[in-house]
Amino acid sequence: MSIAASPARPLIDRFGRRISYVRISVTDRCDFRCVYCMAEDMTFLPKKDVLSFEEIEAIAGAFIARGTTKIRLTGGEPLVRRDIIDLVRTLGQRIGQGLDELTLTTNGSQLRKHTQGLFDAGVRRLNVSLDTLDERRFRDITRRGRIADVLDGIDAAQDAGLAIKINMVAMRGVNDDEIEPMMAWAHGRGMGLTLIEGMPLGEVGIDRVDSYLPLRELHDRLARRYTLTRLDKQTGGPARYSHVAETGGVLGFITPMSHNFCESCNRVRLTATGQLFLCLGQEDQVNLRDALRDGGLPALDAAMDHAMAIKPKGHDFVIDRSRPSPALGRHMSVTGG
């Protein structure tokens, strides 16, 4: 399936927000079962339901033609998909031809064996999800991961010249005592650290009310000990960044619960089955797989227009005892965060 040029019309939703960033989940599978992301016993999609690389390339090309400048590959864990570097290499060829950046979010477990392939394909920046540096706690959070593999993968990535940002989900009573040590470790190695509030997606293995830690509270706590200077740093995503004078590093905050970032939303999420989710916290979606398979690129282009017409203004996540059920039944791994 060739990627033909679509009409050069930017993707602008009904609230005037221009969509320039697409997160593409290449698989719902993962070799971890992190307690805030997945149930311990997950049922994954049959392979026949997952988009082929050819289909992902076609959809990505259509988005680039309509003004997308950044693509992030996600999962599940993207590096567990067979021959993933083939896809990365093909998408990487679009860098400088409409696409400014191709990045990836990973748990790091498979990073060492793929690092050189990622770099050679044009990837220059990675997000690595890491919520603790304690080996036992890491096993508890991931339910099955080995922290040694992740740290080894980070070493390999840095040796290859890839910039790394650590993503840490901040959880009260779980890892909140490690935030300052994690910041010192990350900044000491030239890596950024971004803290993320837990989100009520899917039934998982943690009490979200007890573990919810508002990052405003955490920011105030850190500001009493460190000199935080707000940065006008933009990476295409929702994080707000500060420079930490004492460590010389950058600290990010992603606050979907305590302070949403919907007014500046510039992104959509494509699932591994070709569903385009227009908001992480809502169910509004458009089936791009069926559009592409049934009507080719013209139908795909029309489906993208429809997506802009129905993209919601924002999400309405709530975590409290009056609403103990998750806001949405789908797990984080379905839409790739």
Q: Which residue has the tokens 């489906």?
A: 303
Domain range summary for the chain, segments of one domain joined by +: 21-335
Backbone dihedral region for residue 236 (phi beyond 0: left; psi -120 to 50: alpha; all else: beta): left
pLDDT tens for the 337 residues of the chain, in order: 444 444 468 999 999 999 999 999 999 999 999 988 888 888 888 988 999 999 999 999 999 999 999 999 999 999 999 999 999 999 999 999 999 999 999 999 999 999 999 999 999 999 999 999 999 999 999 999 999 999 999 999 999 999 999 999 999 999 999 999 999 999 999 999 999 987 654 454 555 567 788 888 999 999 999 999 999 877 666 789 999 999 999 999 998 655 555 777 899 999 999 999 998 767 789 999 999 999 999 999 999 999 999 998 875 544 444 444 444 454 455 566 5
Feature table: binding site for S-adenosyl-L-methionine: 36, 76, 129, 199
Helices 179-188 and 215-223: crossing angle in degrees, nearest 10, is 70
Feature table: binding site for [4Fe-4S] cluster: 30, 34, 37, 262, 265, 279
CA dihedral for 115, 116, 121, 123, sign (positive or negative):
positive
Feature table: binding site: 23, 30, 34, 36-37, 72, 76, 105, 129, 165, 199, 262, 265, 267-269, 279
Feature table: binding site for GTP: 23, 72, 105, 165, 267-269
Please tell me the CATH code under which domain 21-335 is placed: 3.20.20.70
Helices 147-159 and 135-142: crossing angle in degrees, nearest 10, is 100
